[in-house]
Structure 1
Amino acid sequence: MKIETVLTVAESKRLIAKGVKELEVVKRALRDGMVTVAMGTTNTYVAEELSGQRIAKFSYTTGLTLP
Structure 2
Amino acid sequence: MLVPGKPLAIVHSEAAAVPQGVRIFPDGHLGVATPPMLEDVTRFDFRDNPGDVTRDADTVADHLRANAEG
Common topology (TM > 0.5): no
Of Structure 1 and Structure 2, the greater strand share is in 2
Give the structure-1-normalised TM-score. Answer: 0.26
Q: Computing the radius of gyration over CA atoms, which structure comes out larger, 1 or 2?
A: 1
Tell which has more relative contact order, 1 or 2 (C-alpha 8 A, sep 6+).
2
